[in-house]
Amino acid sequence: MTCVIVGASSGLGRALAEELARGGHPLVLVSSDARDLLPLASDLTVRFGAAVRTVAADAAEHAGLAAALDRAVPSGQPITALLFPVGAVEQRDDGWLEPELAERLVRVNLLSVSSVVGRLLPRLISQGSGTIVGFGSVAALRGRSSNVLYAAAKRSLESYFESLRHLGEPRGLTVAFYVLGYLDTQLSYGSRLLLPRADPKRVAKRVCRALGRERGRRYVPWFWYPAGVLLKAIPWAVFRRLNS
């Protein structure tokens, strides 16, 4: 029954938490600051009667996070889903980022996911069921001059989820990876964008409706699929001019 959400305190993660609480799932919510997690947990408990545990941990310390989560998810309880709407960007991520910050981006956006999955995978496999959901970004469709390492980490994540499908599906697991367009959240707030931002609540509804049934890579909102195909088809000589 339990769903684990890493990156639950805001944006899409918060919307997913609300949607799953409404659906009656016990939740384990993770983000870096208890001040944000506790009000959210109370809210979901009051409004939906949900059983909510919280884990406040820095995702950059991914091994510690994985261990903390392993302890927080009660061992007798089946895990229905692991969802990873965690993500962080860095303003100066333009290719010249200091090594410490660069490493941090990779830890938060990639290694936090692989470490937690690695730690909980044995439990999922022994259950013989469970869903793992990752979130990529259209920012990683092509290389860019901003969010350089963020995009690199997200593309790695996509590759990781494809591998995870190989690993998980024969053992009864469902693995889904959503390539997300721009969302109306803090992560993209204030930036100028060509295509509209999606409401994280709608994206969360969309993801939860298909939870456990949908597998593989999906684009959300849907129009990013054709947009992505187009974007990838643009030859380098043209693309470099667009991306100035």
Ligand X SMILES: NC(=O)c1ccc[n+]([C@@H]2O[C@H](COP(=O)([O-])OP(=O)(O)OC[C@H]3O[C@@H](n4cnc5c(N)ncnc54)[C@H](OP(=O)(O)O)[C@@H]3O)[C@@H](O)[C@H]2O)c1
Rule CB under 8 A: which residues touch another protein? 9-11, 14, 33, 35-36, 39-40, 42-43, 46-47, 185-186, 189
Q: Return all residues near 118 (Cβ < 8 A) that are at least 6 apart.
A: 66
Phi, psi torsion values for 85, nearest 5 degrees: -80, 25
Kindly tell me which of 10 and 129 has the beta carbon lying closer to another protein.
Answer: 10
What is the radius of gyration, based on Cα positions, of the chain?
18
Q: Do 229 and 183 touch, CB atoms closer than 8 A?
A: no
Q: What CA–CA distance (Å, rounded) separates 113 from 149? A: 16
Q: How far is the CB of 192 from ligand X (least distance, A)?
A: 12
Regarding 86 and contact with ligand X (CB under 6 A), the answer is: yes
**Residue 42 interacting partner from another protein, ligand X, none (CB closer than 5 to 8 Å by kind):** another protein
Kindly tell me which of 37 and 111 has the beta carbon lying closer to another protein.
Answer: 37
Regarding 156 and contact with ligand X (CB under 6 A), the answer is: no
Q: What CA–CA distance (Å, rounded) separates 129 from 127? A: 5
**Residue 46 interacting partner from ligand X, another protein, none (CB closer than 5 to 8 Å by kind):** another protein
- Which of 205, 206, 183 shows the shortest CA–CA distance to 196? 183
Regarding 203 and contact with ligand X (CB under 6 A), the answer is: no
Tell which one of 59, 97, 148, 153 touches ligand X (CB under 6 A): 59
Regarding 214 and contact with ligand X (CB under 6 A), the answer is: no
